[in-house]
Structure formats: structure tokens, C-alpha cells
């Protein structure tokens, strides 16, 4: 894998962002993140993946990435694929009444909340202090198409009790992750995939032998506030 060529290809879509979590970054390439099974904890002999539930990447940043662009360096013999859901028709299919209630709401995007659907990378207090936490609209407009899109995360919401907010977010997640909105991408070594981080959510699958090695590089082009 030629990392310079990989970065140059990513730059076609914009200036590359510095990855948020330093311990998952290549030492000599601060714009290149790495995702390795060797960095993952296990629970009941099952891997606990980073990003094992649907999410947009780095949504806790003031200016989140416009896209995510990983390449598969090594993959298991079976499983370890990535699933996607399109959150544009997810929003379109909501009732007019539900849309009206959502459009002005904002939720807190953090690295990991007490209501997160899975555990993420455990960080030290110093590492956590360097990662931004920010309020984002629940409904954003894509900066190119101006199309409204759900921007989901399991954080607190402004002006709502925590339990009520979580119930609302959970209902929206259940609706957004229906099979009719979903695509599963089977990975291959050398496979370079790019998706729009503002109109698609994705999740990694822990459906492979934890003793097999899965390793990916990732770059992310800059986006818009």
C-alpha cells in the first residue's frame, strides 16, 4: 500500500482532516487513521468494534468531514463487512408532523455518551479533553444538494429530558436502519471505498473470527460547519 498515493486520492475530494484520536493514527502520517483488530477489546470472546452501530464519522467536530475514505489492507476470511443506510429517504419518509417537530431540535454529539449503543475506544482524561463535544442540528441540509438529512447520535437534546430524548433518538434509529434503506458492502483487500458522511450512516460488523486480522487505513476530506 502506497500511503502517499492513498492520501493524494483522498485529496481529490478536499483537504484531509487530522484524525481525532491520536493513538489510532499512523505516526508519520497524521491524516491517516488505522483500524486494527489488535487494538480492540473483547467481551465474552467477541470483538468490541469501534463504530459497531450506525453513525456518521466525527460528528462531534465543529466542521465534520464531508466523506470517509478507508482502504482494506487485510481482511478476515469471512465477515467484517461494512453496512450503510441512506438518511435522505429516511427523513423524506417521515410524516409532515414529525418533520415539523424535529427541524428545530439540536443534540449533543460526543465521543461516547452513557446512552451510546456500543462501547467505543476508551480514552484517558487528557485524550478526552482534546476531543470536541458540540451541539448539532438533528436535521441538517446537505451543503451541495440542500436536501434535508437526519443527523443522528445518541446524545442529549436541548430542551428535552434525557429519557424522552433517548426514546426519540431510538425511534428515529429504528426507522432509519430498516432494510429498505440499507446496503452491505463486502470488503476485499485493496478495496477503497468512499461515502458521503453527511447523507449516509455506517456501521462495522463484528461477525468474524476475532483471531483473524482486519486492518484498514482511513482518510477524511474536510467538510462544512
* Run means of pLDDT, 10 residues per run, the chain, 225 residues: 89 88 83 81 58 80 90 90 92 94 84 52 65 83 92 78 87 92 91 91 84 90 89
* Dist. CA 165–CA 29, nearest whole Å: 39
Whether 197 contacts 57, CB under 8 Å: yes
- pLDDT given at position 111: 60
- pLDDT given at position 184: 92
Q: What is the b/e burial string over 33-71, where b = at least 16 CB atoms within 10 angstroms of the residue's CB?
A: bbbebeebeeeeeebbbbbbbbbbbbbbbeebbbbbbbb
* Dist. CA 24–CA 38, nearest whole Å: 11
- pLDDT given at position 117: 47
- pLDDT given at position 135: 83
Q: What residues are paired with 36 via a beta bridge?
A: 215
Q: Any idea which fold 3-219 has?
A: Double-stranded beta-helix (3.60.130)
Q: Where are the domains of the chain?
A: 3-219
Longest pairwise C-alpha distance within the chain: 51
- pLDDT given at position 208: 82
Nearest alpha carbon to residue 87 among 177, 203, 199: 199
Amino acid at each position: 500500500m502506497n500511503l502517499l498515493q492513498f492520501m493524494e486520492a483522498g485529496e481529490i475530494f478536499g483537504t484531509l482532516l487530522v484524525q481525532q484520536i491520536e493513538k489510532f493514527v499512523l505516526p508519520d502520517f497524521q491524516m491517516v487513521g488505522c483500524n486494527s483488530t489488535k487494538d480492540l477489546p473483547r467481551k465474552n470472546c467477541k470483538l468490541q468494534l469501534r463504530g459497531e452501530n450506525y453513525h456518521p464519522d466525527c460528528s462531534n467536530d465543529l466542521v465534520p468531514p464531508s466523506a470517509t475514505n478507508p482502504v482494506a489492507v487485510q481482511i478476515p476470511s469471512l465477515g467484517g463487512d461494512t453496512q450503510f443506510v441512506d438518511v435522505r429517504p429516511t427523513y423524506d419518509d417521515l410524516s409532515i408532523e414529525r418533520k415539523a417537530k424535529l427541524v428545530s431540535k439540536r443534540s449533543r454529539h460526543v465521543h461516547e455518551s452513557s446512552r451510546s449503543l456500543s462501547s467505543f475506544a476508551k480514552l484517558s482524561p487528557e485524550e478526552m479533553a482534546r476531543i470536541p463535544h458540540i451541539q448539532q442540528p438533528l436535521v441538517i441540509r446537505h451543503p451541495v444538494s440542500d436536501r434535508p438529512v437526519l443527523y443522528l447520535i445518541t446524545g442529549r437534546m436541548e430542551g428535552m429530558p434525557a429519557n424522552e430524548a433517548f426514546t426519540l433518538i431510538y425511534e428515529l434509529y429504528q426507522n432509519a436502519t430498516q432494510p429498505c434503506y440499507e446496503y452491505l458492502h463486502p470488503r476485499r483487500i485493496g478495496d477503497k471505498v468512499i461515502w458521503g458522511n453527511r447523507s449516509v450512516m455506517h456501521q462495522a460488523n463484528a461477525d468474524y473470527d476475532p483471531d483473524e486480522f482486519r486492518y484498514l487505513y482511513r482518510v477524511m476530506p474536510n467538510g462544512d460547519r
